[in-house]
Amino acid sequence: MPYDISIIRPQIQANDVQLRGEGVSLARQNSIKKALRTLHTLELTATNIYKYQITSEKSELNRHLIMAMCNEMTHYQDFQVKLYEYGSRPNCLRWAYYIVGAVLGCWSRIRGEKAILETGIWVETKAVNHYGQLLKEVEWDDETRRIVEKNQADEDGHIARWRKLLETI
Protein backbone atom coordinates (compact mmCIF):
# COMPACT_ATOMS: atom_id res chain seq x y z
CA MET A 1 0.00 0.00 0.00
CA PRO A 2 1.55 3.35 -1.01
CA TYR A 3 1.84 6.06 1.63
CA ASP A 4 2.30 9.80 1.13
CA ILE A 5 5.58 10.42 2.92
CA SER A 6 5.38 14.15 2.25
CA ILE A 7 2.89 14.22 5.15
CA ILE A 8 5.13 14.66 8.18
CA ARG A 9 2.45 14.68 10.88
CA PRO A 10 -0.82 12.96 9.87
CA GLN A 11 -3.98 14.29 11.42
CA ILE A 12 -5.64 12.29 14.20
CA GLN A 13 -9.37 12.60 14.85
CA ALA A 14 -11.00 11.98 18.25
CA ASN A 15 -12.63 8.82 16.90
CA ASP A 16 -9.22 7.45 15.89
CA VAL A 17 -8.35 6.86 19.55
CA GLN A 18 -9.89 3.59 20.71
CA LEU A 19 -9.45 1.11 23.51
CA ARG A 20 -8.00 -1.98 21.87
CA GLY A 21 -7.48 -5.63 22.66
CA GLU A 22 -11.01 -6.76 23.49
CA GLY A 23 -11.65 -10.20 22.04
CA VAL A 24 -7.95 -10.62 21.25
CA SER A 25 -6.03 -13.51 22.78
CA LEU A 26 -3.62 -12.66 25.58
CA ALA A 27 -0.70 -14.03 23.54
CA ARG A 28 -1.55 -11.76 20.58
CA GLN A 29 -2.01 -8.75 22.89
CA ASN A 30 1.35 -9.41 24.51
CA SER A 31 3.03 -9.71 21.12
CA ILE A 32 1.54 -6.40 19.99
CA LYS A 33 2.47 -4.64 23.25
CA LYS A 34 6.04 -5.91 23.09
CA ALA A 35 6.42 -4.75 19.49
CA LEU A 36 4.88 -1.35 20.26
CA ARG A 37 7.21 -0.91 23.24
CA THR A 38 10.19 -1.73 21.01
CA LEU A 39 9.12 0.68 18.27
CA HIS A 40 8.35 3.40 20.82
CA THR A 41 11.83 3.27 22.37
CA LEU A 42 13.56 3.09 18.98
CA GLU A 43 11.66 6.15 17.77
CA LEU A 44 12.82 8.02 20.87
CA THR A 45 16.39 7.20 19.85
CA ALA A 46 15.81 8.43 16.30
CA THR A 47 14.16 11.64 17.51
CA ASN A 48 17.14 12.43 19.69
CA ILE A 49 19.68 11.61 17.01
CA TYR A 50 18.12 14.25 14.77
CA LYS A 51 17.54 16.69 17.63
CA TYR A 52 21.22 16.61 18.58
CA GLN A 53 22.44 16.80 14.96
CA ILE A 54 20.66 20.11 14.29
CA THR A 55 22.89 23.17 14.41
CA SER A 56 22.01 26.88 14.46
CA GLU A 57 23.15 27.23 10.84
CA LYS A 58 20.50 28.19 8.27
CA SER A 59 21.09 25.28 5.90
CA GLU A 60 19.14 22.84 3.80
CA LEU A 61 20.54 19.97 5.89
CA ASN A 62 19.15 21.54 9.06
CA ARG A 63 15.76 21.98 7.39
CA HIS A 64 15.74 18.28 6.51
CA LEU A 65 16.90 17.31 10.01
CA ILE A 66 14.08 19.35 11.55
CA MET A 67 11.54 17.66 9.25
CA ALA A 68 12.95 14.24 10.14
CA MET A 69 12.92 15.03 13.87
CA CYS A 70 9.28 16.14 13.65
CA ASN A 71 8.38 13.00 11.74
CA GLU A 72 10.15 10.77 14.30
CA MET A 73 8.35 12.60 17.11
CA THR A 74 5.10 11.73 15.36
CA HIS A 75 6.11 8.06 15.21
CA TYR A 76 7.02 8.17 18.91
CA GLN A 77 3.57 9.59 19.71
CA ASP A 78 1.86 7.06 17.42
CA PHE A 79 3.33 4.18 19.37
CA GLN A 80 2.74 5.79 22.76
CA VAL A 81 -0.95 6.21 21.93
CA LYS A 82 -1.17 2.60 20.74
CA LEU A 83 0.52 1.37 23.92
CA TYR A 84 -2.08 3.13 26.06
CA GLU A 85 -4.91 1.96 23.80
CA TYR A 86 -3.77 -1.60 24.49
CA GLY A 87 -3.63 -0.92 28.23
CA SER A 88 0.15 -0.90 28.35
CA ARG A 89 2.88 1.61 29.11
CA PRO A 90 6.19 2.67 27.56
CA ASN A 91 9.39 0.91 28.56
CA CYS A 92 10.54 2.17 31.97
CA LEU A 93 14.15 2.04 30.70
CA ARG A 94 13.48 4.33 27.73
CA TRP A 95 15.75 6.98 29.27
CA ALA A 96 18.68 4.81 28.12
CA TYR A 97 17.44 5.10 24.52
CA TYR A 98 17.22 8.87 24.99
CA ILE A 99 20.90 8.91 25.97
CA VAL A 100 21.94 6.63 23.10
CA GLY A 101 20.18 8.94 20.63
CA ALA A 102 21.78 12.03 22.17
CA VAL A 103 25.26 10.48 22.03
CA LEU A 104 24.86 9.30 18.41
CA GLY A 105 23.46 12.68 17.40
CA CYS A 106 26.19 14.70 19.12
CA TRP A 107 28.98 12.43 17.94
CA SER A 108 27.89 12.55 14.30
CA ARG A 109 27.35 16.33 14.50
CA ILE A 110 30.90 16.80 15.80
CA ARG A 111 32.21 14.66 12.92
CA GLY A 112 30.43 16.76 10.29
CA GLU A 113 27.80 16.71 7.58
CA LYS A 114 28.94 13.46 5.97
CA ALA A 115 28.82 11.65 9.33
CA ILE A 116 25.36 13.09 10.05
CA LEU A 117 24.03 11.70 6.76
CA GLU A 118 25.79 8.35 7.14
CA THR A 119 24.41 8.00 10.68
CA GLY A 120 20.92 8.77 9.36
CA ILE A 121 21.22 6.15 6.64
CA TRP A 122 22.54 3.55 9.08
CA VAL A 123 19.86 4.18 11.73
CA GLU A 124 16.99 4.34 9.25
CA THR A 125 18.13 1.17 7.48
CA LYS A 126 18.10 -0.62 10.85
CA ALA A 127 14.62 0.82 11.50
CA VAL A 128 13.21 -0.27 8.12
CA ASN A 129 14.51 -3.80 8.69
CA HIS A 130 13.10 -3.88 12.22
CA TYR A 131 9.72 -2.61 10.99
CA GLY A 132 9.71 -5.29 8.29
CA GLN A 133 10.47 -8.01 10.80
CA LEU A 134 7.70 -6.85 13.16
CA LEU A 135 5.21 -6.49 10.30
CA LYS A 136 5.84 -10.16 9.43
CA GLU A 137 5.94 -11.56 12.96
CA VAL A 138 3.15 -9.68 14.75
CA GLU A 139 -0.56 -10.15 14.11
CA TRP A 140 -1.50 -6.44 14.17
CA ASP A 141 -5.01 -5.00 14.15
CA ASP A 142 -5.72 -3.23 10.84
CA GLU A 143 -5.43 0.36 12.14
CA THR A 144 -2.18 -0.26 13.98
CA ARG A 145 -0.72 -2.14 10.99
CA ARG A 146 -1.44 0.89 8.77
CA ILE A 147 0.44 3.13 11.20
CA VAL A 148 3.40 0.74 11.35
CA GLU A 149 3.46 0.54 7.53
CA LYS A 150 3.21 4.34 7.13
CA ASN A 151 6.02 4.85 9.62
CA GLN A 152 8.17 2.29 7.79
CA ALA A 153 7.51 4.16 4.52
CA ASP A 154 8.59 7.40 6.23
CA GLU A 155 11.85 5.73 7.31
CA ASP A 156 12.45 4.59 3.71
CA GLY A 157 11.91 8.19 2.66
CA HIS A 158 14.49 9.38 5.16
CA ILE A 159 17.05 6.94 3.73
CA ALA A 160 16.40 8.22 0.20
CA ARG A 161 16.67 11.84 1.37
CA TRP A 162 19.96 11.25 3.25
CA ARG A 163 21.45 9.34 0.29
CA LYS A 164 20.53 12.12 -2.10
CA LEU A 165 22.06 14.76 0.18
CA LEU A 166 25.16 12.61 0.67
CA GLU A 167 25.68 12.56 -3.10
CA THR A 168 25.85 16.38 -3.13
CA ILE A 169 28.78 16.64 -0.70
Tens of pLDDT, residue by residue over 6-50, are 999 999 999 999 999 999 999 999 999 999 999 999 999 999 999
Q: CA geometry: angle at 127 spanning 121 and 133, to 5°?
A: 140
pLDDT at 10: 93
Instruction: State percent of the chain over pLDDT 90.
Output: 98
pLDDT at 129: 97
Enumerate domains of the chain plus CATH numbers: 26-167 (1.20.1260.10)
Q: How far is CA 136 from CA 3, 84, 117, 133, 163, in A?
A: 18, 23, 29, 5, 27
Asked if 86 contacts 21 with a C-beta cutoff of 8 angstroms, the reply is yes
Rounded to 5 degrees, φ, ψ at 22 are: -65, 130
Asked if 40 contacts 85 with a C-beta cutoff of 8 angstroms, the reply is no
Tens of pLDDT, residue by residue over 61-88, are 999 999 999 999 999 999 999 999 999 9
Asked if 41 contacts 90 with a C-beta cutoff of 8 angstroms, the reply is yes
Q: Over range 111-129, report the average pLDDT.
A: 98
